[in-house]
Amino acid sequence: MSLPDTTEPAIDRNGRYRRILVFFARGIFHLVWWDILVGRFPIVRGWVLQTRPGRFRHWARRFRLLAVDMGGVMIKLGQFLSARVDVLPPEITEELQGLQDEVPPETWLRIRTVLQTELGDINERFARFDEEPLAAASLGQAHRAWLRPDEPNGELGDSVIVKVQRPFIEQIVEVDLSALRVVARWIMRYRPIGRRADVPALLEEFAETLWEELDYESEADNAERFTQMYIHSQEIIIPAVYRDYSTRRIIVLEDVEAIKITDLERIEAAGIDPKLVAERLLETYFLQIFKEGFFHADPHPGNLFVRPYPESIWDRSQPRQFWLIFIDFGMVGRVPDLLGDNLRKVLVSVTQRDAFQLTEASKEMGFFLPGADLERITEALDTLLNRIWGRNLLELARPDPKEIQELGLEFRDILFEFPFQVPQDFVYLGRCLGMVSGLVSLLDPEINPWYQIEKFGQELIASREAREFSIEAALAMIRPYFTAPARVQRLLEMAEKGRLKVMTAPDQETLRRLDRLDRRLGQLVWSILGAAGMVSATLWYLFRRDKER
């Protein structure tokens, strides 16, 4: 059978480039027209604000359809943007979250071409190769295959998963990134976004990660590093890499597929307690992020599985033990060393409900824009910490609208200014923590994150790990007595300047704006608090292990 000629480009470079620019140019034109020009006229301003969420959702839906049609970078970009809750409104991020499951597979003929180019005659390499893909992603797709056995006894060899890049994907990435760099420069001209994010820098970070994902030799290195991390573990399985069958465009891994982590029915039918799976998942990510500084950055349900221990060693009076399995190591994250000290400060401040230290640590990590009113932010965090402490994930995910309204009215000044941003180092870490949080809440909606934060944080404070914070802890105990007069003085100054107001019932437009801005603030605060909980659990784990030794 003759194979198609792959020496000539098979994509319309100019057509892709123009299509991307035209789509974003239209989107930016509509934004300028409605929200900047038309929205200035008082007679229609209320209507423009009221219809904005619908227009954003419509644009996001059109982008999602474009991404599915074009594939490649556009799907990756949609997945990336769905995690940027600090920059984009929820109407956009929510619509884009479905892109993970909408990737159409490549044809077998084109995939076979890549296999033959990289490995030669695949019939000599594999005893059997399934043409139907197990999964399709934006950059490649996975097939199940069986190696040839060492002895020609008619049996199949090891079952493996072969991950193959899509044809011409490097050309597609190059063209799409070139167009998106132009779009990034356009977006920076919109001040509300330009103030909070360096879009060209974010795009370069996105591009760097994308090129790393296209290097399957680098992915094989990542898999082997994870193997070394868990080489003696009785709880985690990392698939072995078949280096002799892998190239820069193909990676062959041990077939370790088991029960999907979101398949609660099968997990429970196997005798496994989903709550234990949730705890295992959290502990694993604690260690990856805060001990190793190297973590699996794409924990979506298709990359995590649960395998029960054999029935022969199962004590049926207890929940069945299991392995947690990770696959797909193209997207990994690294925690810069300089974040360590501030993350520990976040841990101590959250454990002690010290809003002042939480604000200081957040400032050092770059969560606030220059000129932000840190004293006012501290007051907001103090109120928020006291209100939400002790609630489980289910309660935190479904806040009381009346409470949101009260908080929004109390801190409407900083909400309207919204002096927050998410630092570049937190882009993939925040996305990862959000995905892990979603999985944990699915496995155990009643899990109480504050129990872990308080338990591990208090032990940390009492341990030698927290001695460097002892002075800060002592100051935290007496700080309220010193800050109270300052708050009284602040109230007097606000009254003199006309900033102290008695709030009456707000109009509906104000309530909508407060609700939207308060959700953004809540997302930002919870990314910080989530990191604090993970730090506390990790350090307590290390402290306990040292004591046992």
Instruction: Give the single-character DSSP code of 292.
Output: I
Judge whether residue 1 has pLDDT over 60.
no
- The pLDDT value given to residue 100: 66
* 227 domain-assigned: no
Query: In this predicted structure, which of 4-13, 131-140, 152-161, 445-454 has the lowest mean pLDDT?
Result: 4-13
Instruction: Report if residue 514 sits inside a domain.
Output: yes
Closest CA to 449 of 385, 543, 362, 524: 385
pLDDT at 543: 43
Question: 81: domain range?
Answer: 13-104+170-210
> Which of 3-12, 195-204, 242-251, 527-536 is predicted with the least confidence, judged by mean pLDDT?
527-536
pLDDT at position 403, please? 72
Number of structural domains (the chain) is 2
Q: Are residues 344 and 206 in the same domain?
A: no
Q: Tell me the Ramachandran region of residue 498: left when phi exceeds 0, alpha when psi lies from -120 to 50, beta otherwise.
A: left
Q: Is residue 250 one of the residues assigned to a domain? A: no
Q: What percent of the chain has pLDDT over 90?
A: 33
Q: Does residue 145 lie in a domain region?
A: no
User: DSSP string covering 40-97, please?
Assistant: GSHHHHHHHHHHHHHHHHHHHHHHHHHHHHH-THHHHHHHHHTT-TTTS-HHHHHHHG
Please report whether residue 509 resides in a domain: yes
DSSP H stretches of helix in 352-426? 355-364, 374-388, 393-397, 401-410, 412-417
pLDDT of residue 536: 42
Write out the DSSP string of 498-526.
T------PPPHHHHHHHHHHHHHHHHHHH
Residue 149: its pLDDT value, please? 86
- Name the range with the highest mean pLDDT among 72-76, 251-255, 426-430, 471-475: 251-255
CA 179/CA 189 separation, integer angstroms: 17
| pLDDT-wise least confident of 17-26, 160-169, 175-184, 349-358 | 349-358
Please indicate, yes or no, if residue 53 is contained in any of the structural domains. Answer: yes
CA distance 383 to 411: 10
Q: Which of 159, 193, 210 is the last residue of a domain?
A: 210
In contact, 306 and 277? CB cutoff 8 Å? yes
pLDDT tens sequence across 374-420: 888 898 888 888 877 666 655 665 666 677 677 777 777 776 777 77
Q: What is the mean pLDDT of the chain?
A: 78
Alpha-carbon distance 458 to 293, whole Å? 23
Return the top range by mean pLDDT from 183-197, 249-263, 282-296: 249-263
Chain-centroid distance of CA 264 in Å reads 22
The separation between CA 286 and the C-alpha centre of its own chain, rounded to angstroms, equals: 15
Share of the chain above pLDDT 70, in %: 72
CA quadruple 401, 403, 408, 409: dihedral sign: positive
469 is a domain residue:
yes
> If DSSP codes are grouped into helix, strand and coil, which group holds residue 401?
helix
Asked whether 258 and 293 are in contact (CB, 8 A), the reply is no
Do 181 and 35 share a structural domain? yes
51: its two tokens: 């219809």
Cα distance between residue 384 and residue 394, in whole Å: 17
Range name among 29-33, 88-92, 238-242, 283-287 with the lowest pLDDT average:
88-92
Residue 294, domain member (yes or no): no
Q: What does the block give as tokens for 101?
A: 């499951």
Tell me which of 210, 236, 265 is where a domain ends: 210
Q: What is the pLDDT of residue 484?
A: 45
Q: CA-CA distance, 216 to 210, in Å (whole number)?
A: 12
H or E stretch at 129: strand 126-129
Which one of 146, 180, 210 terminates a domain?
210
Tokens representing 412 are: 């409407």
Residue 147, strand partner residues = 126
Looking at per-residue confidence, does 286 or 463 come out higher? Answer: 286
Non-local (6+) Cβ contacts of 119 within 8 A are 125, 245, 247, 250
User: What's the average model confidence in pLDDT over 155-180?
Assistant: 93
pLDDT of residue 531: 43
343/206 same-domain check: no
